[in-house]
Amino acid sequence: MSVASDGLEGIVAAETVLSHVDGDRGRLIFRGHDIGDLAGRTSQEAVAALLWSGFVAAEPTAIAGALGTARGVALEIARPLLPLARGLSPVEGLRLLLAALPDTATTPHPVLATAAMPVFVAALQRDRLGHPPILPDPTLSQAADFLRMLRGAPAETAHVAALETYLVTVADHGLNASTFTARVVASTRAGVFSSVVAALCALKGPLHGGAPGPVLDMLDAIGTDDRIEPWLEQAIGRGDRLMGFGHRVYRVRDPRADVLKGVALSLRGGANRIRFAEAVEAGALRVLARLKPGRRLDTNVEFYTALVLEALALPRDLFTPIFAVGRVVGWTAHILEQTQGGRIIRPASAYVGPMPKAAA
């Protein structure tokens, strides 16, 4: 009989000062601050300063400037590689560009990795539309500069604020699959950029950071109110997972879902879409309770992430790369924490195969 925990459920694999996910109470804490007190009130730069504190040798006040300067460095790394990314999906293109960050870089690596994300995503998107990349503006915030580099024009204040809230909300989340992956790679001393590339590879799966695009596909496929429950019942009957629902740790509603629902409601033009999404959400919760009794499945962060990013008129296949623009802050904090104190992560396996035959 195997002694392994399926999916490592319930296994504590690290001690961290960075974030705490209380799955029973629906609470998320970043270094002593509830997510509801940070989201909408602080910038990605401030959350980076909070999470990197004690790990990155940069004054909090200097982090915004360092990220601004590093965005320029990142663009020069990306520029010659953009033709190689043509034909790849945006997340594959991002994987390619991140892999080119040199371990010899003199910019502090967490800063360069974080600065590179918005630059790379914007440059990849413009390149596939046949446009050259736009030079970063080091005086802007990451959120404002990202939207400007992506769209070719300064973004309206409400859009910058919405994206900022999203980036802060998803900055860190305990030992989720991508962060755990980052820590495993970091534990071998492979370096920050290798750990970030590995984290992105874990993030892109549909059970993790790949879920929000399919959330919108689901809303489109359902189409009208009368089809909600029959469509969802059929999907579960086929053995499909409902995207944007369920979580390994939360047994109640993911607190990030409400933060992002508020953001989606604050953006212009999406009232009908959000009303329909709310109806689908309510239908999904009823169907899951009926067909998956005993599981306590609730709404997760990805459901309203999809609505926020759609209201910002961002293409669906950029949703996972944009998740990485936010989550890289947490990845790099965990990489540094792991590197400072941790041993190589090397769990054991239980062998359940055949034993060699005894010699005659």
| Distance separating alpha carbons of residues 324 and 196, to the nearest angstrom | 9
- Which one of the listed residues 45, 281, 302, 310 is annotated catalytic? 302
Measure the CA–CA gap between 40 and 54, rounded to whole angstroms.
25
Residue 254 Cβ vs ligand ACO, minimum distance, rounded to whole Å: 7
Q: What is the b/e burial string over 206-236, where b = at least 16 CB atoms within 10 angstroms of the residue's CB?
A: eebbbbbbbbbebbeebeeeeebbebbeebb
Is the Cβ of residue 248 or residue 273 nearer to ligand ACO in the bound state?
248
Q: Are the beta carbons of 335 and 195 closer than 8 angstroms?
A: yes
- Residue closer to ligand ACO by CB (options 332, 339) is 332
Q: Which residue is nearest to ligand ACO (CB)?
A: 246
Q: Which is nearer to ligand ACO, 11 or 135 (CB)?
A: 11
Contact 300, 254 (CB under 8 A): yes
Residue 302 is a catalytic residue: yes
Residues that bind ligand ACO (CB under 6 A): 7, 176, 207-209, 211, 236, 241-248, 292, 295, 297, 300-302
Compare residues 46 and 249 and give the one whose CB is closer to ligand ACO.
Answer: 249
Alpha carbon 315 to its chain centroid, in Å, reads: 16
Task: Write down the least CB distance from residue 333 to ligand ACO, Å.
Answer: 17
CB of 116 to ligand ACO, least distance (A): 21
Q: Which of 109, 159, 173, 247 is catalytic?
A: 247
What is the DSSP track for 91-144? Answer: HHHHHHHHHTS-TT-SS-HHHHHHHHHHHHHHHHHHHHTT-PPPPP-TTS-HHH
Closest CA to 46 of 93, 98, 114, 102: 114
Q: Which two tokens stand for residue 356?
A: 């060699």
Q: Please, which residue, 96 or 301, has the CB nearer to ligand ACO?
A: 301
Nearer to ligand ACO, 100 or 289 (CB): 289
Closest separation between CB of residue 99 and ligand ACO, Å? 23
Q: In whole angstroms, how close is the CB of 253 to ligand ACO at the nearest point?
A: 12
Shortest distance (Å) from residue 245 CB to ligand ACO: 4
**Could you confirm whether 164 is annotated as catalytic?**
no
Question: How many secondary structure helices (H) and strands (E) does the chain include?
Answer: 16, 3
- Coil, helix or strand for 71? helix
Query: The tokens 């969802």 sit on which residue?
Result: 232
Q: Which residues are catalytic?
A: 247, 302
